[in-house]
Each structure stands twice: as C-alpha cells, then as structure tokens.
Amino acid sequence: MTAFPCSDLRVSSLLDQAVAWGGLVAVFQPVVRLDTLEVVAHEGLTRPATGPAGLSVVDLLDLARAKGRLGEFELHAARTVCEAFVALSGSGRLLINLSVHAILHGGLHPDEVVAALSTSGMDLGRITIEITERDIVDNPVEFADAIGYLRARGVRVALDDFGNGHSNFQMWNEIHPEIVKIDHYLIHGLASSAERLAIVRALCRVAETLGAELVGEGVEDAADLRMMRELGMTYAQGFLLGRPVAEPVCTVRAEALEAVREQAIPVPPRLRGPVNHRPLHAGHLIVHAPAVTIQQSNDEITAIFATYPDLHALAVVEGERPVGLVDRRLFTERLAQPFARELFGRKSCAVFMHKSPLLCDERQTVQGMADILRGENQRYLTDGFIITRGGRYLGLATGESLVRRVTEYRLEAARHANPLTLLPGNIPVTEHLARLLKGRRPFVAAYVDLNDFKPFNDQYGYFRGDEMIRLLAGILLAQADAQRDFIGHIGGDDFLVLLQSEDWERRCHRVVDEFNRRSMALFDPEHVALGGIDGEDRRGVPQRFPLTRIAIGAVSVKPPFPRRPEAIATLAARAKRYAKRERVGLHVITSIESDARPRACAVEDAPNG
C-alpha cells in the first residue's frame, strides 16, 4: 500500500469525500473491434473530483483497503460509471472494474452489486465486469460461485491484466470469462518481440479452444496494432485507439485509422537465439531392460543375454543404484577366450563390467547430451549409457539412438531457424508465403543465391565460407524493411526474400552492388588480381572459376494468385537459375501466368569480376 503521512481521521475524511455524491468523476476509454475498427464498448474508469494534488484512484483504493472499506469504494465507483454512461447515452457495452479481494474479503456481496448497477438505470445485459486482482486468489471456487450469481442476472465477465499479476490460468479455468484482457506487458512491442508474439499466439489458440474473446490492452504502436489484426485477436484498447475521456466516443483516433490502411502483411519478428522445438529428454531414449546385481555370476549374465538377443548391455546395480555396465560384445569376446568360461563362469560379473558407466537422469535434455558426441572418450557411443530417476536405475540407452535423436533435433531446428544466420528456415518461410497468398496483396518473391560459391569454399575452407554467407545475410537484413520484408535462409547459400516494399527492385540492386563490393575483402589479393580461383570442376577438369557473385531471381506476384506457395517458390528458383546462367545480378519474372519472356535487370560486375 502507498504510504501517506495522514492521520486515521484524515484518511477517513479522504475516503468519505471519495464515496460521497460527486466525489468521483467517470471517464471512458473505447474498446475497438479490430477487424472493423468499430467502437463496440467502453471501459469505465474513475478519477477523484477533488483532493490533494497527486492523489489517484489507485491511492484511494489502497486507503480503502487498509481501512476495510474496499467493497464500499469499488461499489461507489461502479455506480458512478454506470450513472454517467446512462446520462451520456453511451452505446455498446460498458466494462467496470471489481476486484476479487473486494468480493471475497471486502464485504462486497454479489446481490449488492446487482442492486447498485440496477438502480443506475443501466441494463445489466450491457455490463461486463472486469475482474482485477493484485493478490493471490485463495479461494477461486468461492469466487466462481459469486461470479455465477452475477452472470445469471445477465452480466458478462472479463479477466483483466492476463499475463501480469495474479490473473492466471487457474482463474481462467474457474470463472470461464467471456473476455480475457491481455496485459500491456505482452502487447507493447508485440511486433518486434518474437517471444511476446509466441506467447500471444498461444493465448489466441487457448482462447479459441475455451470460447473466450481476447482484448489487447495498452496498444500504443501502429505495428503492434497491425500484428494483433494479423493474429486474429478480436478487440483492442489503448492510447493509439482512444484515451480515457469524459464522454464516450463513436470513432477511433485518426492515427489508428492510418495504421490499418497499411496494406502490407506484418512480418513476424525473429528470435534472438536458436529455436528449440519439441525438447527431448534422456527418458525418450530409454530401452527398458533388466538389471543384474554385482553378486550374479558371468554364467547368469550369459543366460540373460541369450534370453534377450537384442540387448546391447546389462546394468549392474547395488540396491537399485547403478555401479557398472556389462557390454554384450566385449563380454562375449572375453568369455570366448580359451578356458575363460571355466575360469570366470562362476565368478561375479564385476570381473567384466565397466566400473564407470555414463549415468544420465531421465530429465536431462538430449541436446545437452550432445556433448557426449564431442567428447574424447567415444566408448560411451558403443557401450551406451544408463538412464536413472533420482539416482535409481530406470533403463538403458544406446549411442546410436542418441546420435539419431540429436541429428533429428538439429534438422528440425534448422527447418525453423538456420543455425548459421539464425534467419527463419523452410517452415517459417512457407508459413509466411501462405500468409501473403491468403492476404491476396501483391508481393515479390526473390530467390537469392551465390555464383561459384563452391570453389570459394573449397579454396578457403568452411570458416571463410560461413563468413561469406553471414555477410550476405547481414546485407539482406540491412537493405530490407523489417516491417514489410521477410528474409528466410533455406539452406547453404540459398535465401528466399518475400518483399512488400514498393521500392523492392531498388533494394535488390543495392544488395547486389553491396555484396559484390564487400565480398572482395574475403578473397586473397592474388585471386582478386587473377579475377578468379583456379580449381577443378565436378569432373576433375582444371578450370578457373570467376570470383563469387550474387544472383537474384525475382517473381512479381499479382492477381490471380496461385493457391499453393510451392508454385511461387518454383518460379523464383527458375528466375534464379536464369540469373546464375546469364550472370546478371537480378532477373525478374513479371507474371506468374507466363514467364516465357521474363525481364532481366542486369547489374554490372565489379572490375575483374
């Protein structure tokens, strides 16, 4: 609670003034339907009519709570808002704020709420109660019963500030709100934060499943508004759309109207690091297999291996805790030596076990276990390792299964984000291409590739080859409009750029010019002087290859739009092949219906190129 240098008498006087007739004044902020930008509701808020400078409603709420008068204060604020809305002939729904604490602990009974709202002259069927709470809700079931009483009288329910404070999934599940208001923390910067976008996109799916509609709060930026529309969110509220004012409004602010006139499909922001999809754990590798004790003999081990012909090893345990591992291949080889069975058959299996097996808890991530593959001791790849739960034996895993899972994981991650450039991979590219086609707005698909990159990579090695690819990625990012143009890295030296910028052709020319100029620094001076690299072609024939240059094949996509993204990618690849073959910097197919006579936009190579 905010600290005030006030006596109890003074605090009571402040509260008395606030709950007296005229002590609070109502203001209204519009709630807007995103697809039409129609004002469909207002959130009713209150401000102190008079009082000490700097004293806000939040301060008064804290004072009321401290004095046990929170229910009284909130009820008076709700009545004030309703009476003003009726007096001003406000249209649409009215959202008013009530807290869980006031209802459960502040003496605010649901029947008092109904009576107060009814006497204001407001139709209860037009009221939505926003549930706010700064504390943990200690009895959500009791609160849900109170909300059920209000809902039975026609009042709808909204869960406020979701994603901040204590508006959480438990509350969502208990009270089944018709509206969920996403806190401004998640909305602010939505268009530039991949993490926020992922969370809000997930909330959209949850809301659809649970039958709730979402309101994005705190909308102040045009790019965030466009991204909310792209996600399919229903409503929005914030200063960009309308500030709290004394009278309800009928239209949104001009800045918001201007924002949605932008025809470009929003480009999702990039993640700041590698993408981790479907995290796998050691438990996913488990092979359920029997364990043996250290007292069991080698003859018994032989019998168990005979019973389980596919078992690669056996774990040796003491009191459920692994102490060793018997590798089937080594065990069989050693017992096959002359007189080995007679000498060791009845002895403890500890004779042939590895006394330092690799132990992995079932919760350890597979990607974290990839360090095993890079370690000096490769025995673990042949022997396998033991999976535990809380230090106790659970099962076995093979090195082969670890290699397979790590490879699958990296391939899956690369399809979402290229590990070298961290640019979106094949799957996000295809998804954005589908969004563009669904939006039925013109765009350009540009396939970017490098001529004679393989001789460069063979001459200088992968490290400098990676440097060249990163150089190209950086140039593409620098020349693109982050709000309109999407850059995907689909593998190797291949990029697919989806452009909505009106000056897309000029941007492509700048990419060609800048890459051909800056890439010269990656060649040794003698190769620059020669104008190429001496090497061998795929048939082993000596040849001088030109210095690496960029080739861009672009397709201008206009109505009628194809139904499948693959058609666009195929045409872009065809244009790219022409650009590579003819050694022009940019080659454009102007029609997706016929590319018999495409337009070539040659870019002069740099000297010695």
Shared-domain flag, residues 519 and 584: yes
pLDDT of residue 23: 81
Residue 270 lies in a domain: no
Taking residues 514-524, what's their average pLDDT? Answer: 96
Mean pLDDT of the 221-243 span: 94
Name the residue among 524, 528, 529, 464 with its Cα closest to residue 493.
464
Last residue of a domain, one of 385, 407, 429: 407
502-507 long-range Cβ contacts below 8 angstroms, 24+ apart: 504/444, 504/446, 504/554, 505/554, 505/586, 505/588, 505/601, 507/479, 507/480, 507/481
Is 56 among the domain residues?
A: yes
Read off the CATH number of the domain in which 349 is found.
3.10.580.10
- d(CA 96, CA 78) in angstroms, rounded, equals 6
- Asked, for residue 14, whether it belongs to a domain, the answer is no
Strand partners, 157: 129
In order of 151, 275, 399, 408, 520, the CA distances from 411 in angstroms are 51, 11, 18, 5, 32
Residue 118 lies in a domain: yes
Out of 112-121, 526-535, 594-603, the most confident range is 526-535
| Cβ 101 vs Cβ 65: under 8 Å | yes
Helix or strand holding residue 459 (H, E): helix 453-460
**Residues 483 and 191: beta-carbon distance below 8 Å:** yes
Residues 33 and 144 in one domain: yes
User: Is there a single domain that holds both residue 254 and residue 303?
Assistant: no
Residue 11 — pLDDT band, cuts 50, 70, 90? low
pLDDT confidence of residue 250: 94
- How many independent structural domains does the chain possess? 3
In a domain, residue 275? The reply is: no
Say which range, 69-83, 368-382, 499-513, 580-594, has the weakest mean pLDDT.
368-382
Per the model's pLDDT, the better-predicted residue between 463 and 49 turns out to be: 463
pLDDT at 386 over 80: yes
Confidence label for 594 from pLDDT (cuts 50, 70 and 90)? very low
Strand-pairing partners, residue 489, are 495
Size of the chain in residues: 609
Is there a single domain that holds both residue 160 and residue 299? no
* Whether residues 400 and 489 fall in one domain: no
If asked whether residues 333 and 451 sit together in one domain, one would say: no
Distance separating alpha carbons of residues 381 and 384, to the nearest angstrom: 5
Q: How crowded is the C-beta side of 151, counted as CA atoms within 13 Å? A: 16
pLDDT at 408: 66
Task: Band the pLDDT of 8: cuts 50, 70, 90.
Answer: low
Instruction: Look up residue 163 and give its DSSP letter.
Output: T
In a domain, 277, yes or no: no
More confident residue, 263 or 460: 460
Predicted local confidence at residue 54, as pLDDT: 57
pLDDT digits (tens, 9 = 90+) for 291-342: 999 999 999 999 999 999 989 999 999 989 999 999 999 999 999 999 999 9
| pLDDT at site 135 | 60
Shared domain check, 570 and 465: yes
Question: In this model, does residue 272 exceed pLDDT 70?
Answer: no
Least reliable range by pLDDT among 520-529, 543-552, 581-590? 581-590
Same domain, 74 and 172: yes
Q: How does DSSP assign 5-44, residue by residue?
A: ---HHHHHHHHHHHHSTTSEEEEEEEEEETTTTEEEEEEE
387 shares a domain with 307:
yes
Same domain, 579 and 474: yes
* Local confidence band at 399 (pLDDT 50, 70, 90 cut-offs): confident
> What pLDDT, on the 0 to 100 scale, is given for residue 410?
60
Q: Does some domain include residue 295?
A: yes
Whether 61 and 206 map to the same domain: the answer is yes
pTM above 0.75, yes or no: no
Domain, as residue range, for 167: 23-259
CATH number at residue 463: 3.30.70.270
Looking up residue 211, the CATH number of its domain turns out to be 3.20.20.450
pLDDT digits (tens, 9 = 90+) for 192-227: 898 899 899 999 999 999 999 999 999 999 999 999
Mean pLDDT for all residues in the chain: 86
Answer with the one of 407, 431, 464 that is the final residue of a domain.
Answer: 407
Domain co-membership, 251 together with 395: no
Q: Give the pLDDT confidence score for residue 414 in this predicted structure.
A: 55
Q: Looking at the domain assignment, is residue 348 inside a domain?
A: yes
Asked which of 227, 259, 291 is the last residue of a domain, the reply is 259
